[in-house]
Amino acid sequence: MIKSSVIKQIPNTLLSVIVSCWLVASASAQEDNFLPFTNDSFAKIKADFAGQEFLVGLWSVDCPPCLVELDMMGELLKANPDLPFVLISTDPLEERVEASEFLEDFELAGRESWMFADSFTERLRYTIDPNWFGELPRSYFFDANHEMQSHSGIMTRELLESWFSRALN
Amino acid sequence: MLNKRKTYVTQLFNALFIGALLLTGSATQAAACEDASTVSVHCGNAPSAAVDDQGRLWVAFVQDKHVYVSHSDDYGSQYSTPVKVNPVAEDAEFNGENRPKILVDNNEVYVSWTKKTSPRFTGEIRFSRSVDGGATFSEPRTINDDGLFTGHRFESLYQTESGLLYMTWIDKRDLEASIEAGDDYSGAAVYYAVSRDGGATFSENYRVANHSCECCRIAIAPRGPDNIAIMWRQIFGVTTRDHAIAVLTPEGEMTEMHRASYDEWQINACPHHGPTMIQGDNSDDYHMAWFSNGDAHQGIYYGRFSFADQQPHDVYQVDGGAGAGHPYLASKDGTLFLVWKGFNGMQTDVQLITSDDEGRNWSTPQVLASTVEGSDHPLIVESDSESDNELYLSWKTEESGYVFTPIRKQVTGEFSD
């Protein structure tokens, strides 16, 4: 038999309280343009880019190689400002101040940017790609038909040129 | 090999009892923790646990910039009022790979953690102890001795049979030095320190190896009465992030270092997936489990490293499914227990496999516990007191709070009529 005495102690309260905690946290500092990434956000991003190619960069404040990639992307986007690039931070929205500082440093603060806004991170990752184990940085390229290609580790200019099928400045 | 009866009974067992664990779905512990003044194992973050010789459960966790220690005399039904370890608030790290550690030796309680400091990716290795059975704790000390604001993180704490305390961690002092010298340096380094007096003092810091991965926990197992074997993710060549194993002595020497896994993971990224390792029945054998997404291996793997031939043996894919991660190994009375976390699109399951022949053959997986909310890595804690000879699953979920539940009692259910 399972001893479930710990489990029996659980008070019967509602999930909505957690959700309201998230909302309170996200309302407290609105200096940045982070959007809360929830279970339906990736579908929304794809819908926003219907019929268009786009690039997704997943990163975290706790990932040293991500800095290298953000630095590279900041430079690349300065020379190619029209590149459709969406950033998703896997850090909880409560860390938005720190995350925002990163993006400002690399001149990426004006880009479309999301942060994980549900502590059930496994499910959020699954909505992006069931085959992603969570390693960072992680990137996805969707062509105009939304055929997806993925990459783990720091992106390179060569990789991006092959994904976008054109030379970049 | 697993016989058919065992498989059938396992399935029946899962059907009957796992449902019970899932019944908690409508309640959520996190909501009960909304009141910030509630400090408890259920509301804290990234708990670690140990059971002492008297059968008392000890849990260390982080809440509101403090490390706390609480204990339980009934294996997790009721807990003592948590005792604050660091009197002054500091940014103690709390995530799956970076959690406070706790060890108990008679009346002494040892606690370590990583303190996040302000430049990015930096931290300090912190240690405190209680010599009065957890009533009070010494002022926390910084164990890294370089005085640099650089990365000192992902600490592990281990006590040998002879009573030596080892602390290992990931260290970026050599990376800093290389940058200053204008040289390239991939990854970080592994360092350690030893205490011969129960944590009253620690040795100077010793370097194990350059070019470790930056963000994975280090696994420690005994190697004789005084030495330890450690396993960590190491960068081989330029970008191959597989695993290494080494033997460390209390004098600061690394006597052996070998490659322990051949996954061929060519990646310049942070896996945040550290290994687990325990010593086998044959003292030259070390049971290992790890995660890789390399060219050769993808998912959770088991392997048994032998110091006799310096090779991994019986390498076995435990779970190749995406979402599989964070394995943890333990053994009891000749049986190996391996738990890990998986996600099936709807819920997170902690799964278990066992082996009665030193990892040559494994049972089919059974689900030990599940959640439909966020959760920590699963750990196994051994209880070896006169009254209790058990392994426990130690797992924090937002749904159920801190769960400390016997594992062997569930597995022996397989054979019950």
Q: Does B398 touch chain A (CB under 8 A)?
A: yes
Minimum distance, in Å, between the CA of residue B353 and any CA atom of chain A: 17
Best residue of A1, A5, A7, A69 to probe chain B, by most B CBs closer than 10 Å: A7
Task: Quote the CA–CA distance of A8 and A15 in Å, as a whole number.
Answer: 17
The full set of domains in chain A, from first to last, is 31-164 (3.40.30.10)
8 Å CB contact of B413 and A17: no
Which amino acid, B278? I
Q: Which residues of B touch A119 (CB under 8 A)?
A: 30, 373-374, 398
pLDDT of A30 reads 58
pLDDT of B269 reads 86
Q: Long-range CB contacts (< 8 A, 24+ apart) of A45-49?
A: A45/A86, A45/A114, A46/A142, A46/A146, A49/A84, A49/A142, A49/A146
Share of chain B above pLDDT 90, in %: 83
Our CA dihedral for A152, A156, A158, A164, rounded to 10 degrees, sits at 70
Beta strands A54-59 and A85-92, pairing class? parallel
Q: Which residues of A touch B410 (CB under 8 A)?
A: 2
Are the CB atoms for B132 and B149 separated by under 8 Å? no
Are the CB atoms for B314 and B302 separated by under 8 Å? yes
Whether pLDDT at B20 is above 60: no
- The CA–CA distances, whole Å, from B199 to B139, B154, B327 equal 12, 19, 29
Number of H helices, E strands in chain A: 7, 6
E strand map for B160-205: 165-171, 188-195
Minimum distance, in Å, between the CA of residue A62 and any CA atom of chain B: 7
pLDDT of B412 reads 56
Model pLDDT for residues B314-370, shown as the tens digit of each residue: 999 999 988 899 999 999 999 999 999 999 999 999 999 999 999 999 999 999 999
The full set of domains in chain B, from first to last, is 4-268+377-415 (2.120.10)
A165 Cβ partners below 8 Å, 6+ apart?
none
8 Å CB contact of B215 and A62: yes
Whether pLDDT at B26 is above 70: no
Model pLDDT for residues B150-209, shown as the tens digit of each residue: 999 999 999 999 999 999 999 999 999 999 999 999 999 999 999 999 999 999 999 999
pLDDT of A29 reads 47
Minimum distance, in Å, between the CA of residue B22 and any CA atom of chain A: 10
The CB density around residue B176, as the number of other CB atoms within 10 Å, is 16
Task: Quote the CA–CA distance of B154 and B229 in Å, as a whole number.
Answer: 17
Task: Quote the CA–CA distance of B77 and B298 in Å, as a whole number.
Answer: 39
From first to last of its 169 residues, chain A has per-residue pLDDT tens of 333 333 333 344 444 444 444 444 444 445 799 999 999 999 999 999 999 999 999 999 989 899 999 999 999 999 999 999 999 999 999 999 999 999 999 999 999 999 999 999 999 999 999 999 899 999 999 999 999 999 999 999 999 999 999 999 8
Higher pLDDT, A24 or B255: B255
Whether pLDDT at B67 is above 50: yes
User: In chain B, whose CA is at the least distance from the CA of A21?
Assistant: B34
pLDDT of B27 reads 53
Phi, psi of A136 (to 5 degrees): -135, 150
pLDDT of B271 reads 87
Note which residues in 51-70 of chain A have CB less than 8 A from chain B.
60-68
Transcribe A121-132 into DSSP letters: HHHHHHHH-TT-
Task: Quote the CA–CA distance of A136 and B139 in Å, as a whole number.
Answer: 36
Q: Which of B21, B26, B31 sits opposite A7 (nearest CB)?
A: B21
Model pLDDT for residues B98-114, shown as the tens digit of each residue: 999 999 999 999 999 99
Q: Does A105 touch chain B (CB under 8 A)?
A: no
Whether pLDDT at B16 is above 50: no
Whether pLDDT at B218 is above 70: yes
Mean pLDDT, range B372-397, rounded to an integer: 95
